[in-house]
Amino acid sequence: MSGILGKKVGMTRLIQDDGRVIPVTVVECPPNEITQVKTVDKDGYPAIVLGFSELKKPTKTKKFRYVREFRTLNDTEYKKGDKVTLENFLELATVKITAISKGKGFQGVIKRHNFSRGPESHGSHHHREPGSVGACAKPGRVAKGKKMPGHMGTDQVTVRKVKIAHLDPSKNLIALKGAVPGPNGGLIIIRTK
């Protein structure tokens, strides 16, 4: 199985027998339905399309809130309408996580790019400003890609090799070691590679 869709529940911790405390993020992954099977003959590559979070009032064309495509090795073992559950992840030790990070709005250079602040006293007017941004009269402009204040967050973030701390297929819960990007209730895409 190449992946599954889930919803971030929140963070908690697991206490081991030797007293170690492991911070984990709990993700709820109800059974995902295969809405489409892509084949090499028809589409040029093998893949499955999973639907997650069924709508209360589905339309003729839209049945799920989230629909994502996962590449597969072959297209013969999957059928439209089948369910994908967490039982396929029992043998795995690590997974790849993709999510949309929390939005921070418009932020300055200290928070956005980890700049250092200027002196705070003795008549200094340079506290949290970015400082010099241009060169001289030769370019006569600010170079592209300059680290400046601006919009921060709501980016697609992928974290690789996230360890699976606990897996409970009966309750559709998976506990991933450490933090996972995105807010509570946000969509989490779990991939096997």
Which pLDDT value is given to residue 56? 92
Torsion of CA 100, 101, 106, 112, to 10 degrees: -130
Residue 39, domain CATH: 3.30.160
Residue 2: name the closest of 80, 79, 99, 68 by CA: 68
In a domain, 62, yes or no: yes
Question: Cα–Cα distance between 10 and 183 in angstroms, integer?
Answer: 8
How confident is the chain (193 residues) per 10-residue block, as mean pLDDT?
90 93 95 92 91 91 92 83 89 94 96 93 90 88 93 96 93 95 95 86
Q: Judge whether 180 lies within some domain.
A: yes
Rounded CA gap, 37 and 21, in Å?
Answer: 42
Question: Does 20 share its domain with 94?
Answer: yes
| pTM (2 d.p.) | 0.85
| Domain CATH code at residue 96 | 2.40.30.10
Mark whether 10 and 55 lie in a shared domain. no
| Residues 8, 89 within the same domain | yes
Determine, yes or no, domain membership for 12. yes
Strands (E), 134-191: 150-152, 156-168, 173-177, 187-191
In degrees and rounded to multiples of 5, residue 185 shows phi and psi of 90, -5
- Model confidence pLDDT, tens digit, residues 34-75: 999 999 889 899 999 999 998 999 898 899 999 999 998 876
* Domain tally, the chain: 2
The pLDDT of residue 74: 78
Which residue range forms the structural domain that includes residue 7? 1-30+85-112+148-193
Q: What pLDDT was estimated at residue 186?
A: 94
In terms of domains, do 10 and 75 share one? no
Q: Is 130 within the bounds of a domain?
A: no
Are 47 and 94 found together in one domain? no
pLDDT of residue 94: 94
- In this structure, are 11 and 60 located in the same domain? no
Count of Cβ atoms closer than 10 Å to residue 8 Cβ:
21
- Are 47 and 93 part of one and the same domain? no
Domain shared by 67 and 20, yes or no: no
pLDDT attached to residue 1? 60
**134 in a structural domain:** no
